[in-house]
Structure 1
Amino acid sequence: MANRFEIDGEEVLDGEVKPFGNSAHVTVPKRWRGADVKVVRTSEPTEQDEE
């Protein structure tokens, strides 16, 4: 069963986490620069780290 979170916010963006060097990133609109954001994972990762 998933946890449920309630977050007050201004806008919601659905996206996919993509590889970025040794990490990963989510692209958000340029107009969000300087804003505080929260990222919530809503599914299990489909790729595993290669070590």
Structure 2
Amino acid sequence: MVNRFEIDGEEVLDGEVKPFGNSAHVTVPKRWRGADVKVVRTSEPDGGDDE
């Protein structure tokens, strides 16, 4: 089941979550530093590393 969200914002970035130590991260442009952001998962995880 897919949920639909409506978010007011300034810019949209498509990216891939990549491993980072014991966690993961998404890289965003440096100019976004200090901005408030929201992250929405749009697909199921690949099942690589479970918690």
For the criterion TM > 0.5, the same-fold answer is yes
- 5+ residue gaps, structure 1, are none
Counterpart position of 1:31: 31
Query: Counterparts of 1:50 and 1:12 in 2: how far apart (Å)?
Result: 28
User: Secondary structure in 2 aligned to 1:31?
Assistant: helix
**Aligned-pair distance for 1:48?**
3.2
Over 6 Å off, 4+ runs = none
**Aligned-pair distance for 1:49?**
2.1
- 5+ residue gaps, structure 2, are none
Query: Counterparts of 1:50 and 1:5 in 2: how far apart (Å)?
Result: 26
With normalisation by structure 2, the TM-score equals: 0.92
CA RMSD for the aligned pairs? 1.3
Query: Counterparts of 2:44 and 2:35 in 1: how far apart (Å)?
Result: 27
